[in-house]
Chain A
Amino acid sequence: MLEGKKVVILGDRDGVPGQAAEEMIKTIAGAEVVYSTTECFV
């Protein structure tokens, strides 16, 4: 689904953090993380 796509990640401190999502995206051939962040709402 994400092959050949550019990916923007908005992670949540109490859900899935950006870094964890990045690691997952790295396993998909051709997907490129162009921006990743983790936000805190508390």
Chain B
Amino acid sequence: MSFPVIKGASYSLFHTPEMTVHQGSNQTTERYTNPNSEHFKNLQKSLRSFDEFVKYPPNQVYIGNVKPDMLKCHKRPWYEHPLEAASTDGPFGAIYTEEELIALVKIVDVFDLVVLEEDFQAGAKVKLKNKQELQIIDKLLSKLDTKGEKFAELERMVNEEHAEGMYYSGRLVGCVKKAHAFDAVLTAHVMFENLVSKATAVVNLLQMFTKTKLRPEEVDYIIETSEEACGDMNQRGGGNIAKSIGEVCGCVNATGSDTRSFCAAPVHGLVQAAALVQSGIYKNVIVIAGGSTAKLGMNSKSHIEKNMPALEDCLGAFAIHVSENDGINPIIRTDVVGRHTIGAGSAPQAVITAIVTDPLDRADIKLEDIDKFAPELQNPEITVPAGAGDVTLSNLKMIAALGVKRGDFLKEDIERIVNEKGMPGYAPTQGHIPSGVPYIGFARQEILNKKFNKVMIIGKGSLFLGRLTNLFDGVSFVMQDNTGTEEKASVSKEEVRSMVAETLKRLAESL
């Protein structure tokens, strides 16, 4: 059976300054513990305009207008050196305003929980009606045809009924109502988080249908890999966000399910997608995730202290199309899958060994043979000022150092390896979003252009945050050039040894 291929990838970003102020968990906690905190005044002053957001170099990389390696030589800080030739549209996806996003939240709501102010709703509809990706689904915008609500009624719902307010340019323009009178997991806030995650995933999947040849009805299976949980008090994480996304996007022939493993879930999802396609169960599988409002402004106090803009004013979304081997697109080497096993240990060296060198060793691939490693791609301009270091660089250094220890590289080669085989991080700190997957679009292009032969995608997850285990998680796979011939999983050394031993045993018995 031949390896599956990666046939398409789409990536979108959403500018969300008001959601950062009102719904980011750092801010909601601050509001609860210290309602008069100076942080809110400072945060307002540190928010970026939409124009600044679009021209921010890492954001242009995310939607595919500029390659990640460009950032190596782009003057820092990036937020002070915008890309003037920036666009809201890119080869992989698009950048949306907060106004557009709020209207999209209304569009994906099937339980009439979202209410928008009447003038805002009418204005947002005008702005969305010419968007090509929203024309794919018949009558998608009809949700905005209903009459909006008066501002006073919105204010009442927020103040008296605990509805979650949605704001645009400092003004209350909508709200999400609670979905149950008492249920703690159907509160307005939880519904808001889930609906935003759904809306961002939906419009990004529609971007994929716009920018690739895949049609909604051709999708067989959807694997949703965000960090949200949807359910009620009797089944808190019951799911299935995947099918709710597919329903809006017209994927009438698809089913789906949700996969969770904190930030590592997208790569787990891709390995599962590859297995489903390679086994012949499904032909076209989408691995997808929308954005996380809780993570907005997570490190904003540190950014403000350093007189920087609050760079975590951004939601991200991605979708990857895994399909049967067409002899053209890069294959997923399902025989080179890295996994951080339960017994592997949590030390950085143990983690990298389990998810990088062990799978390569099993397939007799040398570290030098990998053209690019795409580990955690968090934007360092966000993480370094917060004291979390340059996460991408740390991972690349660890891979290179392990290579030196094993004798793959010389010590003096570390800098070269990190530079040649890595890239600066450029994804927003949205947990699951930066975890290796943002590079898949570029990796596919470079492999199709025969610039690269092999790229390793690496995801890592902090399972200990759920307080059920102290374990870490990590998973990886290799994308490789498609030779056009049917490639089969290689036979491992152990299997060869076993076959030789079996043959010798039979020979001995016959003698």
A42–B464 CB distance below 8 A: no
The 9 tightest CB contacts between A and B, nearest first, are A41-B388, A20-B347, A40-B462, A17-B346, A19-B346, A14-B391, A13-B462, A42-B429, A42-B378
A42–B383 CB distance below 8 A: yes
Given contacts A12-B388, A13-B462, A42-B434, contact A20 B263 (CB under 8 A): no
User: Chain B residue with minimal CB distance to A11?
Assistant: B346
> Measured between alpha carbons, how far is A19 from B460 in the docked complex, in Å?
17
Q: Does A4 contact B (CB under 8 A)?
A: no
Map CB proximity to A onto B288-311 as digits: 1 under 8 Å, 0 otherwise: 000000000011000000000000
Cβ–Cβ < 8 Å partners of A15 in chain B: 348, 389, 394
Which residues of chain A in 1-39 are interfacial with respect to chain B, using CB atoms and an 8 Å cutoff?
12-17, 19-20, 23, 38
> Measured between alpha carbons, how far is A38 from B262 in the docked complex, in Å?
15
Which residues of chain B in 332-381 are interfacial with respect to chain A, using CB atoms and an 8 Å cutoff?
345-348, 376, 378
> Measured between alpha carbons, how far is A15 from B460 in the docked complex, in Å?
13
A41–B383 CB distance below 8 A: yes
Question: Which B residues fall within an 8 A CB radius of A?
Answer: 263, 298-299, 345-348, 376, 378, 383, 386-389, 391, 394-395, 429, 431, 434, 460, 462, 464-465, 470, 472
Main secondary structure of the interface of B (DSSP, over half): loop
User: Chain B residue with minimal CB distance to A14?
Assistant: B391
User: Chain A residue with minimal CB distance to B378?
Assistant: A42
> Measured between alpha carbons, how far is A23 from B378 in the docked complex, in Å?
28
Given contacts A15-B394, A19-B470, contact A41 B386 (CB under 8 A): yes
Cβ–Cβ < 8 Å partners of B263 in chain A: 42
Question: Which A residues fall within an 8 A CB radius of B?
Answer: 12-17, 19-20, 23, 38, 40-42
A41–B347 CB distance below 8 A: no
> Measured between alpha carbons, how far is A14 from B398 in the docked complex, in Å?
11
Given contacts A12-B388, A14-B388, A17-B472, contact A41 B376 (CB under 8 A): no
Cβ–Cβ < 8 Å partners of B387 in chain A: 41
> Measured between alpha carbons, how far is A13 from B429 in the docked complex, in Å?
14
Cβ–Cβ < 8 Å partners of A38 in chain B: 346, 462, 464, 470
Question: Chain A's nearest CB lies how many Å from the CB of B418?
Answer: 15
A42–B391 CB distance below 8 A: yes
Write 10 A-B pairs (CB below 8 A) sorted by A numbering. Answer: A12-B389, A15-B348, A15-B389, A16-B348, A17-B347, A40-B465, A41-B383, A41-B387, A41-B388, A42-B383
